[in-house]
Structure 1
Amino acid sequence: MRARRYLVGIPVGALLLTAVWAGTGHGARRLDRLELGELPLEPQPGEERSGGDTTVTDTGRNAFGRSPMNMDRARWPDFHHGKRVFDRDWSDADLAPVPVGPLFSAPSCVTCHVKDGRGQPPASPDEVPVSLVFQLSGAEGQRAHPLYGAQLDSRSVDGARAEGWGSVAYDEVRGEFADGEAYSLAKPRYEFKDLSRGPLGGSARFSPRVAPANFGLGLLEAIPEQALLALADPEDANQDGISGRPNYVEDDVDRRPKLGRFGWKANQPTLQQQVAHALFSDMGLTTELLRDGTAEPEVQPKDLEVLMFYTRLLAAPKRRDWDAPQVQRGKAVFRAIGCAGCHVSGPFETGEVPGFPELSRQRIFPYTDLLLHDMGEALADDRPDGLASGREWRTPPLWGIGLVQVVNGHTRYLHDGRARNLEEAVLWHGGEAAPAQERYVRLPREDRAALLAFLKSL
């Protein structure tokens, strides 16, 4: 019996997915193959420069920590001053004007964001997490936990007792591609230990989150709000199964709701607020924005100013092999199976950013819409955050994702680092992304490899 073939698909421009049945009878398996027709596999002009004129050419260990290529040399001193604040160990009395804590998760920004890159979960269940934190809330989900606050602090200064820590173990979840090749996923299992104030309680909610990469944040903040809202489709009016929606959250300065852009659930509207909350939650340090009743901020205004300067200007790295035939085919696969419905390449055009000509009017390719999407039960943390439900997550930018191993020495992805490589990250997708995940599973090996090659080029 010959394999049957017919169109299944989703035309995307000149692209079609076709189904090929491998085998016969009840044992036949459906494979989806990308039919390119006459579509030329050519690079999009400028796509290798992910951050426009800011893009750095360094693709080595320091690729995530560089200043923009279009920055005037006269601004280097402030950038390097900000880097010193970022690296400062606030638990060292010789380096920091005030001590960290008394309870904290990390003594410095660089502790979690090593080389301005991604964090990872601990290597064993006996290891106290370093760049993985646990955000907490009570039964209702939005308010802080009544005993432990908004985040579990696993470290403390001398004389104080840490609140406790979260142990991470994994169960193997096995699956199979349509062509018969097996795969395995690591499902995390959490246990809280050494809790100093009693049990969390059965109704408590928690959300494990690894530290994301820091580069390109100023460019994301500079994307005009209307460009992002134009991508929202909360009622799925176009019936493509993707219903991205904005998260509106309180601005601590203006005291009104604004579009969330930063954090795993888009729960911070501005980069300054994201940094100030990280200093407060992760290190117990107050700023002008978050004083916690103290008379003077512990992070001095000048230090916060240069830290923001540094964080805002960290540049995205240039892509590698973007014009290779396999990578271009992988980009076509990425579009055809539906990944680009949330991971929008753009290009976006940034607006005018006062005081930052480097970030103004740049044509960028971040591969995100910065909107919330339902990612399914398997990735849910059941903890609401602003307007985000326990199943919703902000689409993370993909630029630079192929350099994580080079910069950080690991390949752990997703909000809690459960994915051990890029393919596992794809396979964990559910909810609105379930159709794309299912199409990926049905692809033949060569098209799966092409998509991964494309991701590694970003």
Structure 2
Amino acid sequence: MSRKLWIVGLLGLITTLGIWCTKPGLFPEDGYDPRLSGGMATVFDLSSQSFSHPIPGLSAWDSHVHEKGDQIFEQNFVAAPAPLFSGLGPIFNNVSCISCHHNDGKGTPSFGAVNSSMLMRVSLPGEDEHGGPVPVPGFGLQIQDRSVLGYVPEARVSVSYHDSLVSYPDGNTVVLQVPVYTVSNPYIPLPSSTLFSPRMAPPVFGVGLLLRVPESEILSHADPDDADHDGVKGHPNYVYDPVSGAQVIGRFGLKANVGNLLTQVASAFQQDMGVTNSVFPQESAAGQPQVDGLHDDPELPDSLLNAVKFYVETLAVPARRNVTDPQVKAGEQLFSQIGCASCHLPTLHTAVDVNFPALSNQRIHPYTDLLLHDMGPALADGRPDYQASGSEWRTAPLWGIGLFPKTNGTAYYLHDGRARSIEEAILWHGGEASKAKQNFMQLTASQRQAVLAFLQSL
């Protein structure tokens, strides 16, 4: 080897070692593209399928697993026994994942229908052995309001609305719809002390990024004692994870009551569809007179369960739009000035994950702190969930919120879909968000429209 080639090779080795040994630096502000809500895991699509793309850079094998998970996510399950996709019921809420999470986004606020995305959580006062909700005898933690042939639903759930008028100081008005929930025809009487919590299916895209936000970063934003005296507290939920058998920080679910994606997916199969699996091998109807008694559990193979988990974990985030529009930029400043960004944090970071470069060490803009906040009596369900009180909810991520009308046809917001617009959702805020809401109401009409234009750009 010539001396020249030897020197070139040595310099190349030194450069490579330097790259390997360099710690990740701070994200540069100059030249950063504000459209990249999910960092490298961002896709540019404005269609109804904007939530349904895989993260860029998956290997051929990972793409295959993602596609298999997508197929199972969209598959209708049928009653057992059946040669394929068996295990639905005998009591359930829906027949597939996609039936609730329309186009991988939010649901619609209806019960019992084919396209229903609502369910009613139930529990008794107190805590179970892990600090979680206490199941209702004969019903568990969720009312299954549909059943296969030959069985009966646990109960029927319906919702009606009445109007409530909100007036701005400038004289403009908005009509909010106040939901009233009715549980009827239970197959056995429900205890009088039963606690109820209606829930609408949330979006599933971007969860792989939220999974990788370090716990230390989440905790750095907590302020349970309101040390800065801004009226905004925020604290994490710690929940029992049946996969690890340990208490972990909650990240998923409307009350941050799930800490593990596998647990989230497995619970949805077992509770929402009645399909048992290795994480939850017991029928949701266990202990009831109408349990199927087929002894075919678990009904879902681990390969398919893990494929669905992998699918949602590797869904990309849609890019922001209209980021240079003057109205949008003005709305972004107002969003921060009036206090919305105290909970809906614009920026988080993910930890290093060498297996998924598009999810690793990313600067992301989910507009959440993943913490619990008291939202006041108007949004309270009165049902505690681990360390979440009956009036506390996890800060909902806002990325993709402006695309919900396209992905759903008609968009609905908040935990139970009561808000028909982003403006209505803001006006429902209370508790720790009361000051931010009042600040929004004090804005001029054009300023409020700027805030809404900014939110619609996310």
Opposite residue 207 of structure 2, the aligned amino acid is L
Q: What's 1:30 paired with?
A: none
Q: What's 2:329 paired with?
A: 328
Match of 1:195 among 160, 168, 186: 186
Counterparts of 2:30 and 2:421, CA distance in 1: 25
Opposite residue 300 of structure 1, the aligned amino acid is P
Match of 1:59 among 46, 51, 67: 46
Decide whether the 8 Å contact of 1:88 with 1:95 is kept in 2.
no
Q: CA deviation at 1:146?
A: 2.0
What whole-Å deviation, never above 9, does each CA across 1:116-151 have from its counterpart, x for those lacking one? 1101112xx996881010000124372011232111
Are residues 1:135 and 2:121 paired? Answer: yes
Q: What's 1:79 paired with?
A: 66
Q: CA RMSD in A?
A: 2.0
Decide whether the 8 Å contact of 1:127 with 1:167 is kept in 2.
no
Are residues 1:120 and 2:108 paired? Answer: yes
Q: What's 1:414 paired with?
A: 414
Q: What's 1:228 paired with?
A: 218
Are residues 1:103 and 2:91 paired? Answer: yes
Q: What's 1:247 paired with?
A: 237
Decide whether the 8 Å contact of 2:108 with 2:417 is kept in 1.
yes
Q: What's 2:390 paired with?
A: 390
Decide whether the 8 Å contact of 2:94 with 2:114 is kept in 1.
no
TM-score (normalised: structure 1): 0.86
Counterparts of 2:384 and 2:53, CA distance in 1: 35
Counterparts of 2:169 and 2:113, CA distance in 1: 37
Question: After superposition, where does 1:223-302 map in structure 2 within 5 Å?
Answer: 223-292=213-282, 296-302=297-303
> What is the number of residues matched between the two proteins?
413
Partner SS, residue 359 of structure 2: coil
Decide whether the 8 Å contact of 1:88 with 1:96 is kept in 2.
no
Partner SS, residue 196 of structure 2: strand
Counterparts of 2:185 and 2:83, CA distance in 1: 30
Counterparts of 1:290 and 1:354, CA distance in 2: 30
Partner SS, residue 87 of structure 2: coil
Decide whether the 8 Å contact of 2:76 with 2:85 is kept in 1.
no
Q: What's 1:18 paired with?
A: none
Are residues 1:364 and 2:364 paired? Answer: yes
Counterparts of 2:83 and 2:395, CA distance in 1: 37
- Distance of aligned partners of 1:454 and 1:350 in 2 relative to their CA distance in 1, 3 Å threshold: same
Opposite residue 457 of structure 1, the aligned amino acid is S
Decide whether the 8 Å contact of 1:170 with 1:189 is kept in 2.
yes
Decide whether the 8 Å contact of 2:350 with 2:362 is kept in 1.
yes
Q: CA deviation at 1:292?
A: 1.9
Match of 1:70 among 37, 54, 57: 57
Opposite residue 364 of structure 1, the aligned amino acid is I
Residue segments in structure 1 that go unaligned for 5+ positions in a row: 1-41
Runs of 4+ with deviation above 4 angstroms: 92-95, 125-129, 293-296
- Distance of aligned partners of 1:445 and 1:429 in 2 relative to their CA distance in 1, 3 Å threshold: same
Decide whether the 8 Å contact of 2:87 with 2:276 is kept in 1.
no
Counterparts of 2:195 and 2:117, CA distance in 1: 20
Q: What's 1:90 paired with?
A: 77
Match of 1:152 among 134, 143, 147: 143
Partner SS, residue 80 of structure 1: helix
What whole-Å deviation, never above 9, does each CA across 1:276-330 have from its counterpart, x for those lacking one? 1111111112222111286752110110121111110011101110121100100
Decide whether the 8 Å contact of 1:372 with 1:392 is kept in 2.
yes
Q: What's 1:445 paired with?
A: 445
Match of 1:183 among 170, 174, 181: 174
Counterparts of 1:282 and 1:457, CA distance in 2: 32
Q: What's 2:196 paired with?
A: 206
What whole-Å deviation, never above 9, does each CA across 1:31-73 have from its counterpart, x for those lacking one? xxxxxxxxxxx99832211001110111101001111133345
Partner SS, residue 414 of structure 2: coil
Residue segments in structure 2 that go unaligned for 5+ positions in a row: 1-28, 128-132, 284-294
TM-score (normalised: structure 2): 0.86
Q: CA deviation at 1:352?
A: 2.1
Are residues 1:312 and 2:313 paired? Answer: yes
Opposite residue 156 of structure 2, the aligned amino acid is W
Identity percentage of aligned residues: 43
Partner SS, residue 79 of structure 1: helix
Question: After superposition, where does 1:426-437 map in structure 2 within 5 Å?
Answer: 426-437=426-437
Q: CA deviation at 1:364?
A: 0.7
Partner SS, residue 307 of structure 1: helix
Counterparts of 1:70 and 1:355, CA distance in 2: 11
Decide whether the 8 Å contact of 1:128 with 1:167 is kept in 2.
no
Q: What's 1:28 paired with?
A: none
Counterparts of 1:97 and 1:126, CA distance in 2: 21
Counterparts of 2:267 and 2:112, CA distance in 1: 29
Q: CA deviation at 1:96?
A: 3.2
Counterparts of 1:298 and 1:357, CA distance in 2: 34
Counterparts of 1:79 and 1:411, CA distance in 2: 27
Q: What's 2:456 paired with?
A: 456
